Amino acid sequence: MATLTIQVEDNSVMAGLKKVLEAMKGVVIVPNHQKSMSGIEEAMDDIRHGRVTEYESADDMFEKLGI
């Protein structure tokens, strides 16, 4: 069994492409399952990608958030 991965950038062709592939004998469309991350994994990913903000204090945070 061979596996072929196709990346479709134009979503308007997806319906037609799926119909063509489903019509082909011996071709199976395998759903794309992404592994869900735990809370700590999400937090570590945020740190790695710079999606964190540091504040001097809680008062500083509230002030910058406009609360």
pTM: 0.42
CA angle 60, 58, 39 (to 5 degrees): 120
Q: What single DSSP character describes residue 49?
A: T
Are 55 and 61 in contact, with CB atoms under 8 Å apart? yes
Total length of the chain: 67
Q: Residue 33: pLDDT above 80?
A: no
Q: How confident is the model at residue 36 (pLDDT cuts 50, 70, 90)?
A: confident
Q: Token pair 């869900």 is at which residue?
A: 36
Return mean pLDDT, the chain.
Answer: 91
